[in-house]
Structure 1
Amino acid sequence: MSDDALLSIGELAERAGVTVKTVRFYSDRGLLPEAARSSGGHRRYGPEALDRLRLIRSLRTLDLPVPEVGRVLERQDALEDVVAGRLRELGSQLTALRWREAALRLLQDCSPDERVDRLRLIGAMAAPPSTAALARFWRRWLPPRLPAQLVSSILEQAVPQPPADPTPAQALAFARLHDFVSGPCDGTADAGAGVGTGQPEAHRRIEGYRPAVLYEGLSEAHALAAADLRARRAPREGEALDCFVSAHACARGTRDTPAFRRLLSGWLAADPRIDRYWQLAAELSGPSAPTPGAAHDWLRAALDDQIARTAA
C-alpha cells in the first residue's frame, strides 16, 4: 500500500468524527491496528481503519466494555453472545431500578412515623432483593436429613420469588418477609410475632417417624388443594384431604382411620404456626398462586369440618 493511501491519526480522527485521543486509545488497546509508521514515527492507518473505527464506535454506543468489543472484532459470530450477555445485565439493572423506585414510593406515601420503620426494613435488603434469607429460614425450619431433592422442591414452593416490577405494596411485603425470617429461627409462636421457639410435632425426632414421607405426601396434597383454592371451593372432603391425611398416617407408620383423623386434628391444632410468613408470601404471589400455607389451612378446615359432621 502506497504512503499516499495511508491516513495520519489526525486525518482518521477527522473522517470518523472523533478526537485524536480516541483513536490513540483504541490503537493502544489493539482494537485499531496501524498499517505503518512514518519516518518520524507517526502512526499511519489504511482505508479499512475508518470502517473499523466506525464499528468500534457503534459497539461502544451500546455500552459494551472494551474487552467485549475486542471479542466481536476478532470473531464476528461472538456478537450474538455479547449482545445476549449485555441484555441479561441490563435486565438485572432495570429490575434493581424498579425495586429502588418502589422503595422510594414507599417512603413518599407514608406518615413520618411509618417512614422510620420502612427505612429500616428497606435498608436491610439489596435491590433487587435476594431470597437467600428465606431459603435459610426454611432449611432451619424443616426437619433434619431430608433428601436434598425434596428440600429443593419444598423451597421452590415455599420461597416466593421477588417480582421484576414490584408495586410499592409488594416491595413492603418482601421487606417485611425478609425481616421476619432474619431473626433467630427456632420456629414461630404465632401469626403476628416474629420468630419464636416452637416447632411442629412432625419435626421432632420421634422413633419410627419418617418426615421425608410426610413432606412428599404434603406436596401432593397441597397441589390438589391449590386447585380447589383457585376455584374458590369451600373446604370439603375428597382427594386432597385423603392425600393430606394419608401423608401423616404413612409418616407415622399407621392407617388412616376415623380415630386417626381425630388425633391428627388435635395435633395440628396444637402445632406452632407461621401464619405471618404465609400472609406476606400471599401478598407477593397474589391470589392466582395459593401458598402452601393457604393450602394447609384449607386442608385443616376440611378435616375439622368432616370430624364435626361425623360427630353430629
Structure 2
Amino acid sequence: MFSSYDGLCTIGELAGQTGVSVRTVRFYSDRGLLPEASRSAGGHRRYAPEAVERLRMIRALRGLDLPVAEVRRILDEQDARDVGAGEGGALEDAVAGRLRALGSELAALRWREAALRLVQESPPAERPDRLRLVGAVAAPPSTASLARFWRAWLPPRMPARSVTAFLKAAVPDLPDDPRPAQVLAFARLHAYVTRPCDGRGGRYQPQAHGVAGARASAVLYAGLAEAYDLAGGELRRDAEPGPGEALDAFVDAYASTYGTCDTAAFRHGLAGRLADDPRIDRYWELTAEVISAPDDRPEPTPGSAHDWLLASLETQLGAMDGVDVREGAGSEARSPGSDAPDGARAISPR
C-alpha cells in the first residue's frame, strides 16, 4: 500500500489514499483524532496502515455534522473496545443528540418559511404591522411567555401540581409545520400576553385571586379541568349546550370549593356570578387558531369549554319555568360570593 520499507506512510500518502488534503490530515492529527506512528529523522509525520480506516471513519462522522469532541469520544470508545474495555453507546448518543438538534433546526426553518409566506401573502398596507409581530417571536417560538402570563393570573400559593396541570391545558402545543395563519395567530398571542398591564383589565385577574386559599384553588381547578375535558368531548360532537355530566362536574367544582351543596339556588347564584367574570376571549380565540388543523373546526380550549358550560347552565336555568328557586333556600345553598368559605369567590379561566 505504501512505498516505505517499514510499512508506514507519509502524511501526503495518507492524504492521497483517503482523498483529503494534507491540511485536513494535519488538522485531525493536531487534535488527537489521528495518532502518528512515528516521526522521520527530518521530523515528518508517519502513520500506520490502520490510519487509513481511522481517517475514513473520522470523515464519515464529520459528514454527519458531528462535532470534533463527539468524534473524539466515539474513537476513544472504539479504541477501548479494541483492548477489551469500554461499554459502547457513544455513537448512539451522538447520533441521537444530533437528531434532536436537527429537529430543532428544521422546526426553526419551517416557522421561518411560514413567517416569510405570511409577509409575502399579506396586503402591502398590513406588512409593517405583521413584520413587527412576527419579528418579536423567535423561530421556533417558545411558549414561555404564555406560561408566565398564566402564572401571574393564577391564584397565589396555588400548589405546584395544580399549576402544572392548568398550564398543560392552557398553554397550546405548537405545530411542527405551521401555516402562515398559525404563525400570525401565535405572534398575536405572544403580543397579547406580553403587553403591559395598564390598570384597565389588561391581565383580567379574577377577583378571587387575592382571597382564595391554596387548598380552595387546587380543588376548584382540578374540578374545572375535569369539566372542561368533558365539555371538550361535547364540543367535538357538536352537542347543544344543556344539562349532563359535564355541567354537573362544572357546578360541583365550585360547590366543593365553597363547601356547599349543589342546589338549584346555588346554580342560579353561580350563573349570575360567572356572567360578571372578567373575560379573555381573545386568548382562547388565538389559541384555537394556533392548534387547529387547516380547514378543520377549531379545537376545543378551556375557554370554549367554559362558554359551552355556562351556556348549558343558563339553558338549564331557563327551563325552570321562571321559578325563583333562590327564595327560601337553606343556609347550606350559599350563592358564590363574598360569604363563601375562606373568602373564596367564583373564578374561571376567562
1:92 aligns with 2:98: no
Q: Distance in 2 between matches of 1:236 and 1:157?
A: 23
Aligned to 2:185: 173
1:203 aligns with 2:209: yes
Structure-to-structure mapping, 1:222-241, within 5 angstroms: 222-241=228-247
Amino acid at match of 1:74: D
Aligned to 2:314: 304
Q: Distance in 1 between matches of 2:312 and 2:209?
A: 23
Q: Distance in 2 between matches of 1:165 and 1:18?
A: 39
Structure 2 spans left out of the alignment, 5+ residues: 79-87, 323-350
Aligned to 2:82: none
Structure 1 spans left out of the alignment, 5+ residues: 190-194
Aligned to 2:330: none
Amino acid at match of 1:108: Q
Structure-to-structure mapping, 1:285-304, within 5 angstroms: 285-286=291-292, 287=297, 289-304=299-314
Aligned to 2:219: 213
| Range moving further from structure 2, 113-122 or 287-296 | 287-296
The number of equivalent residue pairs is 305
* Distance apart, 1:119 and its partner CA: 0.8
Structure-to-structure mapping, 1:15-30, within 5 angstroms: 15-30=17-32
Report which of the two has the higher share of helix: 1
Aligned to 2:134: 122
Conserved 8 A contact 1:60-1:66: yes
* Distance apart, 1:185 and its partner CA: 4.6
Cα RMSD, aligned residues only = 1.8
Change in Cα spacing, 1:127 to 1:116, as seen in structure 2 (3 Å) is same
Give TM-score scaled by structure 2 length: 0.83
Q: Deviations over 1:169-196 (max 9, x none)?
A: 111110000000001358985xxxxx25
1:58 to 52, 56, 60: 60
Q: In percent, how many aligned pairs have the same letter?
A: 63
Change in Cα spacing, 1:69 to 1:83, as seen in structure 2 (3 Å) is same
Secondary structure (helix, strand or coil) at the match of 1:210 reads: helix
* Distance apart, 1:140 and its partner CA: 0.6
* Distance apart, 1:221 and its partner CA: 0.7
Conserved 8 A contact 1:135-1:155: yes
Q: Deviations over 1:192-213 (max 9, x none)?
A: xxx25x4334434168992221
Secondary structure (helix, strand or coil) at the match of 2:320 reads: helix
Q: Distance in 2 between matches of 1:221 and 1:154?
A: 13
Aligned to 1:103: 115
Q: Distance in 2 between matches of 1:140 and 1:311?
A: 42
Change in Cα spacing, 1:42 to 1:26, as seen in structure 2 (3 Å) is same
Change in Cα spacing, 1:206 to 1:142, as seen in structure 2 (3 Å) is closer
Q: Deviations over 1:118-158 (max 9, x none)?
A: 11111111100010100000001111111000000000000
* Distance apart, 1:19 and its partner CA: 0.8
Q: Distance in 2 between matches of 1:311 and 1:295?
A: 26
Amino acid at match of 2:110: R
Q: After TM superposition, where is structure 1 displaced by more than 6 Å over at least 4 residues in a row?
A: none
Conserved 8 A contact 1:176-1:280: yes
Amino acid at match of 1:138: W
